Structure 1
Amino acid sequence: MSTYISKRLIYMLIILLAASLLVFSLYALTPGDFISGNLKLSPERKAELREIYGLNQPLLERYFIWMKNALHGDFGYSLAQQTPVLTLFNQYIWNSFLLAIVSTFMTWLIAVIIGVNAAYKQYSWFDTLVMVGTFAAMSIPSFFIGLFLIKVLAVDLKWLPPGGMLATGSNATGLAYLREVVHHMTLPVIVMTLLGLGSLTRYFRSNMIDVIKQDYIRTARAKGLTERKVLFTHALRNALLPAITLVGFELPALFGGSLIIEKIFNWPGIGQLYMQSFGLRDYPLLVGFTMLIAVLTVIGTLLSDILYHIADPRVKL
């Protein structure tokens, strides 16, 4: 195990190095930047700022300077926000993580329960409703679901706030602050759960249909085990094995998948900050965010391989 992890860490470093060069080059070669697009600055001031921030230097020289600073924990300075990139990440990333981790947990929990029951009751009315619902959830765009639920639950019924993380002018602390955050995050969590529920439910359903036809499932039933124990103890564990490969995509999806949702619900997360920075061409922040997604991707892939081996020791690393 230790030898495998050591080799994978070396591969991860090589992949991240190549990814950093690619990401930095793509943003650096994109026409325009925050300084050149700022109409309030005079040509002389623009030239001065480009000289100060090293934007006139050759591409490779700028990359090596950025990489040297990144290895020391400095991912650059956001020109639009006038704040170091890591400081902005620390301010916004935890809000995105809170929103994403709750929705991911709810998605997997509901998908497992519905997928197992749909597979057990294959071709029943429940299975038909599940399949129709999953295809509908996969087909409807995220912005439409978000705006529709805002119209129904926030505007018409007034059950939930339409956006934000706290009420305007709120000074709540302690449990009152926690209740307010939960109240505001309920609507975006519902939308993110619905968006991920369709494909994951179909995945668990198809896996369970294959597993419950195996001989060892018939043997477990012949031993007199309850159907609940057969499904959720014997069959589900093996049906989860292919789903473990999805873990590698869950970490980057925690932040990359909520970009539009955070914008719709005005949630103060890293996704909304990224969208704002993209419009302003704030490339230092964009490079830092893209590299964060790359790091989460390689870490998630490593975790999925290790978890697969733990779940099924027969699989060699």
Structure 2
Amino acid sequence: MSTYITKRLIYTLVILLAASLLIFCLYALTPGDFISGNIKLSPERRAELRAIYGLDQPILERYFTWMNHALQGDFGDSLAQQQPVLKLFKDYVWNSFLLAIVSTFLTWLIAVVIGVVAAYKQYSWFDTLVMIGIFAAMSIPSFFIGLFLIKILAVDLKWLPPGGMMTTGSNATGLAYFKEVIHHMALPVIVMTLLGVGSLTRYFRSNMIDVIKQDYIRTARAKGMSERKVLFTHALRNALLPAITLVGFELPALFGGSLIIEKIFNWPGIGQLYMQSFSLRDYPLLMGFTMFMAILTVIGTLLSDLLYHVADPRVKLQ
């Protein structure tokens, strides 16, 4: 195990190094930047700012300078926000994490329960309704669902606020602050759960259908075990094994999957900041966020491999 982890960490460092070079070159070679796109600056001021930020240097020299600072925990300053990139991450990333972790928990919980029941009652009216709902959830765009729920739940029924994280001018603290945040995050969490539960339910349903046809399931039933125990103890555990591989994609999706949702609901998260940086061509912040996503991806892949070994000891790590 320790040898495997050591090898994977070495591979991870190599992958991240290659990813950092690709990410930097991608943004560095993109035409235009925050300085050249600012029409209020004179040509002399633009040249001065490009020299201050090192944008007039060769690409490889700029990359090694950026990488040297990144290894010391400094990803540069946002040109638009005039703040360190890491400080902006600390200010916004936890808001995105709160939104994503709640929706991910609800998505997996709902997908597991509905997927198991739909597989057990295959070809029933319940299974038919589930399949219709799955394809509907997978085909409707996120912005349409978001705007539709805002119209119904926020504008017409006035049950939930249409956006933001807090009521404008609110100074709530303690329990009142907690309740207000929960109230505001309800709509975006509902939308993110609806978007994710479709594909995941279909995944669990197909896995459960394959598992419940196995011989050991028939043996468990022949021993007189209750159907609930057979499904949720024996069948579900083995059906979850392939789903563990999805963990590698879920970790970066916690922050990258809510970009449009945060923009629609004006949620002050890292996704909305990322979208704003695109329009402003704030490349230091864009490079920092993309590198952050690359780190989460390789960490998630490593965790999925380790969890698969823990869940199924027959899998050998070499």
- In structure 1, the partner of 2:107 is 107
In 2, distance between residues paired with 1:215 and 1:261? 44
- What is the match of residue 73 of structure 2? 73
Q: Which residue of 2 aligns with 1:195?
A: 195
Partner of residue 22, structure 2? 22
1:85 aligns with 2:85: yes
Q: What is the letter of the counterpart of residue 175 of structure 1?
A: L
Q: Give SS of 1:172's match.
A: coil
Give matches, 1:208-219, under 5 Å.
208-219=208-219
- Residue number in structure 2 paired with 1:53: 53
Give the structure 2 partner of residue 152 of structure 1. Answer: 152
The one-letter amino acid paired with 1:32 is: G
Q: For 1:197-244, what per-residue CA distance to the aligned partner results, in whole angstroms no more than 9, with x for missing partners?
A: 110000000000000000000111111111000000000000000000
How far the C-alpha of 1:281 sits from its partner, in A, is 0.2
CA deviation profile, 1:110-166 (whole Å, cap 9, x unmatched)? 000000000000000000000000000000000000000000000000000000000
SS of structure 2 residue aligned to 1:138: helix
Offset, 1:290: 0.2
- How big is the shift at 1:258? 0.3
Q: Does 1:127 align with 2:127?
A: yes
Partner of 1:186: 186
Aligned to 1:253: 253
Once residues 316 and 266 of structure 1 are traced to their aligned partners in structure 2, the CA distance between those partners, rounded to angstroms, is 46
Residue 40 of structure 1 deviates from its aligned partner by: 1.0
- Match in the other structure for 2:314: 314
**Aligned 1:294-309 pairs, distance under 5 A:** 294-309=294-309
CA distance in 2, matches of 1:297, 1:241: 19
* Partner Cα separation in structure 2 for residue 94 and residue 257 of structure 1: 14
Unaligned runs of 5+ in 2: none
Instruction: Write the letter of the residue equivalent to 1:225.
Output: M
Could you give the per-residue CA deviations for residues 154-211 of structure 1, whole angstroms, max 9, x where no partner exists?
0000000000000000100000000000000000000000000110000000000000
Letter in 1 for 2:232: F
How many residues of Structure 1 are paired with residues of Structure 2 in the alignment? 317
Query: Counterparts of 1:244 and 1:85 in 2: how far apart (Å)?
Result: 32
Could you state the TM-score of these two structures normalised by the residue count of structure 2? Answer: 0.99
**Aligned counterparts of 1:129 and 1:100: Cα–Cα separation in 2:** 27
The aligned runs of 1:246-285 (5 Å cut-off) are 246-285=246-285
Task: Show structure 1 runs of 5+ residues with no match.
Answer: none
Q: 1:290 maps to what in 2?
A: 290
Give, as a single letter, the amino acid of the residue that structure 2 aligns with 1:154: A
Q: Deviations over 1:258-312 (max 9, x none)?
A: 0000000000000000000000000000000000000000000000000000000
Secondary structure of 2:41's match?
Answer: coil
CA distance in 1, matches of 2:235, 2:253: 28
**SS of the residue 1:56 aligns to:** coil
CA separation in 2, counterparts of 1:293 and 1:115?
30
CA–CA distance in 2 between the matches of 1:144 and 1:256? 19
Q: CA RMSD in A?
A: 0.3
Identity %: 87
Alignment partner, residue 229 of structure 2: 229
Indicate the SS of the match to 1:83: coil
